[in-house]
Structure 1
Amino acid sequence: MTDPAPNPHATEEEVKAAYSDPKLANILYHDWEAGTYDEKWSISYDERCISYATDVFNAVAGEEGQPYPTAMELGSGTGFFLLNLMQGGVIKKGSVTDLSPGMVQVALRNAENLGLDVDGRVADAERIPYPDNSFDLVVGHAVLHHIPDVPGALREVLRVLKPGGRFVFAGEPTKIGNFYARKLGQLTWWLTTNVTKVPALSGWRRPQEELDESSRAAALEAVVDIHTFDPSELERMALGAGAVDVRAVTEEFSAALAGWPIRTFEAAVPQEKLTVRWRMFAYHLWLRLSALDKKVLSKVLPRELFYNVMITGIKP
């Protein structure tokens, strides 16, 4: 069966329909984002993101079993997690899947540019189009919170895993973390878009049509972001789906408190204002705060306070 073509320019009628159909919203939103997604989220396929992806993976799953012969990424987006794990030596052969045809297209192009052995399919996480016992590993990054039926998707993940195979999902928002991240983002957007109305700062204001487009995207983003998770609740979901050796780990507290205002500010100003010096400042600040979270705050704060939750489990 031929995969559907990307639709980066949804009609007004399609967008209206998406507000009552989370899966359609995911397709339209991510098709629209696909071409600029890597830039928006500062995604790269070099040592910076290779180290990040492998560190996140190892923090929850450890290094035993690497390299995995075959792996699939669920909700791959542009391939950030899978492709960087492959470059980091965690995975040999990969498959990308996403509900968005545009994202699959970009992920396959990224894989080809990197010379990696990757195939791809447009796929619904609740009905994964691969046979039973197909993969040694299933991974995902910031995908579970987009899926209407998370327990059903986890059962599908276990179905396509080989016995003894592992899944690793990272980058999922916690309930508390999502609350403060949203509030910080909303406040930063309001402040930036209003302060830049001052004539002396008009050069820092994005054109109105771009701000309107960003606002529409943000509105649709509220539809595609369906869930937030309590770490213990997510563990129970995975156990209920049939997984064993389930473990959830959280990360990013101070890094999220700084990161969300920074990301929102970057979305609200002209891109040419974001110099290399600014980007390096933001990146190194995130590194320092992430180290503080990992080495100090994770030892004294409840895991529920952190922004991201990662989970792993094994198919018996």
Structure 2
Amino acid sequence: MTTTSNEPTTDASRVDDPAPRPRATAEEVAAAFEDTKLAQVLYHDWEAETYDDKWSISYDERCIAYARGRFDAVASDQTLPYERALELGCGTGFFLLNLMQAGVAKTGSVTDLSPGMVKVALRNAENLGLTVDGRVADAEGIPYEDDTFDLVVGHAVLHHIPDVGQALREVLRVLKPGGRFVFAGEPTTVGNIYARRLGQLTWYFTTNATKLPALRSWRRPQEELDESSRAAALEAVVDLHTFEPRELQKLAREAGAIEVGVKTEEFAAALFGWPIRTFEAAVPPEKLSLQWRLFSYQAWKKLSWLDETVMRRIIPRGFFYNAIITGVKPAG
């Protein structure tokens, strides 16, 4: 891992960044239901060390292609690579690190409200040999100077931010004139309804079916299931928004962006993917063979192809699960 030394705000070793809290107390969890930013920190610190496994995140060709595909869906005509990129709400670094491996950016910075996520993202970057620095930071007050970045990206982050308009204004502030932002993985209003319901039903049936003696070996230890249930309760607090595509586009324009575009994706793929992800979270990981993971990935790819070639022609774009938005900071 390499950090920049000429700008104090980008030093990844700053001692004033708080430490991760991977095990929240009952009192902290109770307080988090009244404080959404505390909930963000507790939930994502809780998930940080297992997040990549939970969501089948990798830093190989599979997820490199996925990240590049999301970028190209709205910004395929760009001259690459960008010199310096920032990931907002980086999580484990999934989006930026894979985009860097795909040749989209040369160097990067990662920020997240969760110290645990920043720690894992920087560790992932170091393991990949990528030039990345990081900070624990609030998206509504990004700790970088004006006109710093050529590109700002994020994946599944805007729906966690209380004031999305303020965050987008901050994004435009730290972008250089002519710089671009790309945010992917944002839930649409309709998509979120069926995805959550499918996840809840899958969790209920899986955790009850594995109580049967014949399926007992497929059951996670009760303490793990209880912990997942507590995390799920916090998840309802940290997921603040869903988006109508037109309203998301309007938010970006009101923040000052130009060349704003929104695309939605995943309908059949989401109807398949959410039960699969929930099932994988509910059973012991050793039960999920390589063949299973290949099956689920190949099935998702085929359904994504179906969405793009068929469903897009007959299903309104607001019914697709994910929204991707891009925009540009005006020159001058």
Taking structure 2 as the reference length, what is the TM-score of the superposition? 0.94
Report what 2:290 is aligned to. Answer: 276
- Does residue 54 (structure 1) correspond to residue 82 (structure 2)? The answer is no
Q: Give the C-alpha shift of residue 65 in structure 1.
A: 2.6
* Matched residue type, 1:136: D
Q: Give the C-alpha shift of residue 8 in structure 1.
A: 0.7
Report what 1:86 is aligned to. Answer: 100
Seq. identity, %: 73
* Matched residue type, 2:259: D
Helix, strand or coil for the counterpart of 2:86?
A: strand
Helix, strand or coil for the counterpart of 1:77?
A: coil
- 1:43 pairs, out of 53, 57, 72, with 57
State how far apart, in whole Å, the 2-side matches of 1:258 and 1:165 are: 36
State how far apart, in whole Å, the 1-side matches of 2:18 and 2:87 are: 19
Deviations 1:224-243 (A, max 9, x none): 11100001000000000000
Q: Give the C-alpha shift of residue 300 in structure 1.
A: 2.4
- 1:256 pairs, out of 264, 270, 278, with 270
Report what 1:304 is aligned to. Answer: 318
Q: Give the C-alpha shift of residue 63 in structure 1.
A: 3.6
5 Å matches for 1:161-180?
Answer: 161-180=175-194
Report what 1:184 is aligned to. Answer: 198
Q: Give the C-alpha shift of residue 299 in structure 1.
A: 2.4
Report what 2:4 is aligned to. Answer: none
State how far apart, in whole Å, the 1-side matches of 2:309 and 2:280 are: 28
State how far apart, in whole Å, the 2-side matches of 1:205 and 1:47 are: 31
- TM-align CA RMSD: 0.8
Taking structure 1 as the reference length, what is the TM-score of the superposition? 0.98
Q: Give the C-alpha shift of residue 208 in structure 1.
A: 1.1
291-300 vs 239-248, which moves further: 291-300
State how far apart, in whole Å, the 1-side matches of 2:312 and 2:75 are: 17
* Matched residue type, 1:142: A
**Misfit runs of 4+, over 6 Å:** none
- Does residue 154 (structure 1) correspond to residue 182 (structure 2)? The answer is no
Helix, strand or coil for the counterpart of 2:207?
A: helix
- Does residue 101 (structure 1) correspond to residue 101 (structure 2)? The answer is no
Report what 2:229 is aligned to. Answer: 215
Unaligned runs of 5+ in 1: none
- Does residue 133 (structure 1) correspond to residue 147 (structure 2)? The answer is yes
Report what 2:30 is aligned to. Answer: 16
State how far apart, in whole Å, the 1-side matches of 2:75 and 2:37 are: 29
Unaligned runs of 5+ in 2: 1-13
Length, aligned pairs only: 316
State how far apart, in whole Å, the 2-side matches of 1:143 and 1:53 are: 15
Helix, strand or coil for the counterpart of 1:202?
A: helix
233-242 vs 64-73, which moves further: 64-73
Q: Give the C-alpha shift of residue 196 in structure 1.
A: 1.5
Report what 1:142 is aligned to. Answer: 156
